[in-house]
Amino acid sequence: MTADAATVAHGEQSFASDLVSLTKPRIISLLLVTTIAPMFVAGTPTWSAVLWVTIGGYLMAGGANAVNMYLDSDIDDVMARTRLRPIPSGRMTKRAVMAFGILIATAATYLLANFVNVLTAALALSGFYFYVFIYTRWLKRSSPQNIVIGGAAGAFPPLVGWAAVTGRIDLASIFLFLIVFYWTPPHFWALALNKQRDYDNAGVPMAPLVWGVRETIDQMVYYSFLLVALTVLPVCFGVFGLVYLGSALALGALFIVGVWKVRAARDGGWEKPSWWVFKYSLLYLALLFVAMAVDRHL
């Protein structure tokens, strides 16, 4: 291969890598767990349905993430953890990123509507609009409640997976929506505690900057207890059985212990336990949803 050909190949590879990075694949991996697992909770989906929901779900979430990077490109440039993204680094233009995001979200809507059902497509698209307009465009820069209310965007995947199998939304799917909704604040605030300088530089009113560290941690404790109580509630309605109940209690107890360690820390000692809570919360939600599917099929 000549030097020029190698340069072109490297450029194409870098461009492809940037397109993938715009979708935030690591974040989407958890969203897909909370989409696919509810399909097996709702019934026994065909593998073609799982495939189309996986593809459509990835493209819809990826489109929302790309549009988010377009809208947040100004603050991404001043935050250490985001300044290497394609737009602030100068590797891609804002117009190209916006076009890419809209294109794959449109493709996702078509695929879900045609190969799954219209309700599934509508719910996925609703999550897209909620994330882009309610969270990113409105709440993120205007209120410390941004994560609380805006977190609803990340709670749409269980509804998408449920509707893909049943063609409807019912009480059980609402429980799954609420579990993700109440999981989001303690999960994200654990990260925000350690990224206060970034958010301060960007002018984003995250809870630790507006309420203070202690109040934010107290809110994490409050939401964590609500979350664990909520995870048990579906058992009372006969949605899940003992396998899920045991898993929910064990996972939830560890979650609360982690958050309580953050609260017990003094003089900045909350940084290490809050990082643990952030990382564990990702595993917690994934394992909880896997436990739901296992419980329904035993």
The predicted pLDDT at position 194 comes to 92
Residue 289, C-beta contacts closer than 8 angstroms, at least 6 positions apart: 33, 34, 37, 38, 158, 176
Q: Which residues of 111-137 are buried (b: 16+ CB within 10 A; e: fewer)?
A: bbbebbbebbbebbbebbebbbebbbe
Q: Which helix (H) or strand (E) holds 54?
A: helix 47-71
Domain 1-168 has CATH 1.10.357.140: yes
The candidate with the shortest Cα–Cα distance to 76, out of 29, 141, 13, is 141
The predicted pLDDT at position 21 comes to 93
Report domain extents, the chain: 1-168, 170-298
Give this prediction's pTM.
Answer: 0.92
pLDDT, one tens digit for every residue, the chain (298 residues): 444 433 333 445 588 899 999 999 999 999 999 999 999 999 999 999 999 999 999 999 999 999 999 999 988 888 887 888 999 999 999 999 999 999 999 999 999 999 999 999 999 999 999 999 999 989 999 999 998 888 899 999 999 999 999 999 999 999 999 999 999 999 999 999 999 988 988 889 999 999 999 999 999 999 999 999 999 999 999 999 999 999 999 999 999 999 999 999 877 788 899 999 999 999 999 999 999 999 998 8
Compute the radius of gyration of the chain from its Cα atoms. Answer: 20
The predicted pLDDT at position 167 comes to 96
